[in-house]
Structure 1
């Protein structure tokens, strides 16, 4: 066996204390960087002697603890995807959640719900159902942009098609019209 001409370095054989020290240093750096953030940028500075007041940003409703109208029997309700945005133009964001039963086998159908939370309310509530689980859709390519909800829906052409193998794919878009969410189909449905 040939020995190295370089003496053995202390860090060549890390011990648990080295990992603890490294993790502590990284956490310290992350914590310090979150405290020392620069101020927000402004397009125009206020004139000398004037005060500017900004309204606190409204937070989107959380999906935690929401009673979704979904019957799952002994299994839990699982929030698969969620996105937020101001869908009705009131300046307060809504949350849109793709939800299904957390079944141990198979592909349970998805439901899409819109949540809102009134000022001062303790809990968000479901205000609209965009996709009903009875329709047996799986939701993909889900997004909330520019006041609209978009998704690709995988479904079935008949009740005879097995749940494993959706054979219809359609794009859907929902927008608030002042009274309800209206669905439009950007492109025609087609087979998978």
Structure 2
């Protein structure tokens, strides 16, 4: 072993007593910090009367992660469009989700589902199917306007039309009436 050329650095060699002193000091700091905790902080201010009128249920639902009734085989269902608004007049927003299988090829048909919060768990649940994927329709646009769902739908006039190239365009409107969604065609709807 070579001697240190600088004698004043000779004290830099660690000995077990140094490790013991360091461990004791760290333990003391950790113990002291657990005793001397500041008051817990909150990010929100105290709720006033207007905040109490706005429950957490008024936030829009996230349509991802819902178990949609699609048979996608090895691929997953994917939400491609969504719209949010109060459809039944209860003050809580519903979410309309356009969903299809994440197919690597072709134009998979869309399903349009209305989601609301479950009363028991506040988790999203499907309450209505507005467009069934079995109808071979693609949704080009969806929105919630004046308490109704409005959408532009693309379809096929016959089975002979290639599934890549819809040749029929239709507009639809769904309104909540007497406990169910009733479909109508808005004024100005047309076929291609």
Moved segments of 4+, more than 2 Å? 51-54, 187-192
CA displacement at 1:95 relative to structure 2: 0.5
Gaps of 5+ in 2: 1-42
Q: Residues 171 and 190 of structure 2 are in contact (CA less than 8 Å); yes or no, is this contact kept in structure 1?
A: no
Q: Give, in whole Å, the separation in 2 of the partners of 1:100 and 1:174.
A: 20
Given the alignment of the two structures, is residue 89 of structure 1 paired with residue 94 of structure 2, yes or no? no
1:31-180 superposed matches below 5 A: 52-54=49-51, 55-57=53-55, 58-180=58-180
Q: Distance in 2 between matches of 1:179 and 1:127?
A: 11
Task: Report deviation, 1:146.
Answer: 1.3
Task: Measure the CA separation in 2 of the matches of 1:64 and 1:165.
Answer: 28
Measured in 1, the distance between the counterparts of 2:161 and 2:65 equals 35
Larger-Rg structure = 2
Question: How far is 1:52 from its partner?
Answer: 3.6
CA positional deviation for 1:165 = 1.1
Given that residues 88 and 176 in structure 2 are in contact (C-alpha distance below 8 angstroms), is that contact kept between their aligned partners in structure 1?
A: yes
Instruction: Pick closer, same or farther for the CA change 1:180–1:172 going to 2, 3 Å.
Output: same
TM-score by length of 2: 0.69
User: Aligned to 1:134, what secondary structure does the other structure show?
Assistant: helix
C-alpha deviation, 1:191, in angstroms? 3.8
TM-score (norm 1): 0.69
Q: Give me the whole-angstrom Cα distance separating, in 2, the residues matched to 1:108 and 1:147.
A: 28
Secondary structure in structure 1 of the residue aligned to 2:73: coil
Q: Is the 8 A contact 1:88 1:178 kept in 2?
A: no
Larger helix proportion, structure 1 or 2?
2
Quote the Cα distance in structure 1 between the aligned partners of 2:120 and 2:188: 42
Distance 1:156 1:99, change over 3 A: same
How far does the alpha carbon of each residue in 1:74-94 deviate from its partner, in whole angstroms, 9 at most, with x for none?
Answer: 001010011111100011111
Whole-Å Cα distance in 1 between the matches of residues 92 and 69 of structure 2? 23
Deviation at 1:145, TM superposition (A): 1.5
Shift of 1:129: 0.3
Aligned residues: 143
SS class of match (2:59): coil
Structure 1: any 5+ residue segments left out of the alignment?
1-34, 36-50
